């Protein structure tokens, strides 16, 4: 018999909500309860900050496997500057670090904050077009969350802790905002993935917690080394090269963050940066960490409060001591901050500006700390300077670098990571 005449069991499981599975709750067939009410015949509700609609959490069963899907459209006039942001869906319980809250911010931001347990995931361009409805599916399988838009995966998140709160759509008592239209709301007591999505394929998963959001590799072989790359948007340019280099040899996780180091930010064991590092390492352990702690943002002249010069050295001494004490088996590598460019009147890039003077000064201060602590450094600043000739004339983005330079950044970080892994091998 021809293979084309067969549909595999896996394919049948991926047919999605349009298959034979019936929802346990459906707008237009069941009533909302408690905080809001709608006629059972209604198929669309308006979310405008004056009313909310509630469904008992019991429809999710044991909250191990379930699907919540709906279609939503924003008002074309919604403007983030006018505070037209609104919580669309909420069954979170902050006191118990459980559940989900979905809050949307319209243009110019056009982003959603997905609060998961006690962490937060930000996703930009969540509703690209105000003239159409978008279908979202929140699929939880084995308590792990996947978010799809029109059948395409947007967010692959971590475990959702069971909540005892009802599922609430919209907000009541908030100032009136430009309305969002919600329709085709359906809830299933099982995980239903869109057609063609294979949940068994290894993918990086976004894990959140107090003061951190990381992307975590799917660990299949616990005997392989674990690497954590910490940085800002510069690291987003080179981290993929690191993952590819170590493919099959080590797992690479990403932390785009590293927490802020304000004047008193690291004082005490409960300081936010320390809570963030503890939370990230709960997903470890990590053998090697390359780290630059969002330095371009910390050292921005327009946000000088984030990292005052007088507090930089004592804060870095405090944090490096904290890391050494709490994670003694991990090899840390400091990554120096890259330059901030400016353009001459003719568009030629150069490094003659107060912002870059601050980067140079701060790099030197941190160099002294790392020397005292015996922590090796990767000098991305020098690599970037050597690549000034490759910068496009008149390029308005004076912070980031082309893929060729990002590849050189990665190569430099990889060399230092390789040294650390070789040292671990010798000790074994």
- Return the domain boundaries, the chain: 3-188, 210-427
SS3 417: helix
Look at residue 11 in the predicted model and tell me its pLDDT.
38
Among 10-19, 82-91, 97-106, 145-154, which is the least confidently predicted range? 10-19
Contacts for 242 with CB less than 8 Å, ≥ 6 apart = 227, 229, 252, 410, 413, 414, 417
The tokens for 364 are: 């030197």
Check residue 206 and give its pLDDT: 87
Among 71-85, 135-149, 221-235, the minimum mean pLDDT is found in: 71-85
Averaged pLDDT for residues 148-168: 93
Give the model's pLDDT for residue 12: 38
Q: What integer is the mean pLDDT of 96-119? A: 91
Which residues on adjacent β-strands are paired with residue 8? none
Lowest mean pLDDT among 217-221, 279-283, 296-300, 401-405: 296-300
Does 3-188 carry CATH code 2.60.120.200? yes
Smallest CA-to-CA distance from 150 within 130, 134, 133 is with 134
Q: Is the pLDDT of residue 57 over 60?
A: yes
Is the confidence at residue 38, as pLDDT, over 60?
Answer: no
Residue 20 has pLDDT above 80, yes or no: no
What is the rounded CA–CA span in Å between residue 27 and residue 49? Answer: 19
In angstroms, the CA 27 to CA 9 distance is 30
Contact between 399 and 296 (Cβ < 8 Å): yes
Q: What is the pLDDT confidence band of residue 79, given thresholds at 50, 70 and 90?
A: confident
Q: What is the CA radius of gyration of the chain?
A: 24
Residue 168 reports pLDDT greater than 90: yes
Q: What is the DSSP string of 283-342?
A: T---SEEEE-TTHHHHT-GGGGGGS-HHHHHHHHHHHHHHHHHH-TTPEEEEEPPPP--E
Q: Which of 16-25, 185-194, 276-285, 302-311 has the lowest mean pLDDT?
A: 16-25
pLDDT category at 35 given cuts 50, 70, 90 is low
Cis peptide, bond prior to residue 108, ω within 30 of zero: yes
What is the token pair recorded at 81? Answer: 């500057």
Residue showing tokens 């690209």: 128
334 CB burial (10 A radius; 0-12, 13-18, 19+): buried
Tens of pLDDT along 210-226? Answer: 888 899 998 999 999 99
Residue 262 — very low, low, confident or very high, per pLDDT cuts 50/70/90? confident
Average pLDDT, rounded, for the chain: 89
User: The domain 210-427: what is its CATH number?
Assistant: 3.40.50.1110
């Amino acid at each position: 018999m021809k293979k084309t005449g067969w549909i595999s069991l896996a394919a049948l499981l991926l047919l999605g909500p349009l298959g034979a599975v019936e929802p346990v709750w459906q707008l237009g067939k069941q009533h909302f309860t408690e905080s809001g009410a709608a006629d059972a015949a209604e198929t669309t509700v308006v979310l405008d900050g004056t009313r909310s609609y509630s469904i008992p959490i019991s429809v999710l069963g044991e909250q191990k496997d379930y699907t919540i899907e709906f279609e939503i459209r924003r008002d074309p006039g919604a403007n983030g500057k006018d505070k037209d942001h609104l919580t669309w869906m909420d069954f979170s319980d902050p006191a118990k670090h459980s559940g989900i809250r979905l809050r949307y911010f319209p243009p110019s931001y056009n982003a959603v904050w997905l609060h998961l347990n006690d962490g937060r995931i930000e996703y930009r361009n969540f509703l690209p077009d105000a003239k159409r409805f978008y279908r979202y599916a929140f699929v939880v399988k084995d308590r792990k969350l996947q978010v799809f838009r029109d059948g395409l995966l947007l967010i692959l998140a971590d475990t959702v802790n069971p909540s005892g709160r009802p599922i609430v759509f919209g907000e009541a008592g908030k100032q009136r905002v430009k309305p969002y239209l919600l329709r085709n709301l359906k809830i299933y007591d099982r995980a239903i993935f869109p057609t063609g999505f294979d949940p068994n394929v290894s993918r990086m998963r976004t894990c959140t917690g107090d003061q951190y959001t990381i992307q975590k590799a799917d660990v299949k072989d616990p005997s392989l080394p674990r690497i954590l790359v910490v940085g800002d948007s510069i690291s987003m340019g080179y981290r993929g090269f690191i993952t590819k280099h170590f493919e099959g040899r080590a797992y690479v996780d990403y932390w785009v963050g590293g927490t802020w180091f304000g004047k008193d930010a690291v004082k005490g064991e409960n300081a936010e940066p320390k809570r963030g590092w503890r939370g990230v390492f709960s997903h470890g352990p990590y053998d090697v960490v390359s780290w630059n702690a969002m330095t371009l943002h910390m050292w921005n002249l327009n946000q000088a409060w984030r990292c005052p010069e007088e507090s930089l050295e004592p804060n870095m001494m405090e944090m490096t001591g904290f890391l050494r004490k709490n994670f003694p088996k991990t090899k840390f590598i400091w990554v120096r901050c890259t330059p901030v460019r400016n353009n001459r009147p003719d568009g030629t890039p150069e490094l003659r500006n107060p912002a870059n003077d601050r980067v140079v000064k701060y790099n030197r201060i941190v160099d002294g700390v790392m020397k005292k602590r015996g922590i090796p450094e990767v000098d991305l600043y020098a690599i970037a300077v050597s690549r000034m000739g490759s910068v496009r004339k008149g390029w308005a983005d004076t912070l980031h670098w082309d893929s060729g330079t990002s590849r050189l950044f990665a190569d430099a970080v990889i060399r230092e990571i390789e040294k650390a892994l070789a040292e671990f091998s010798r000790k074994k």
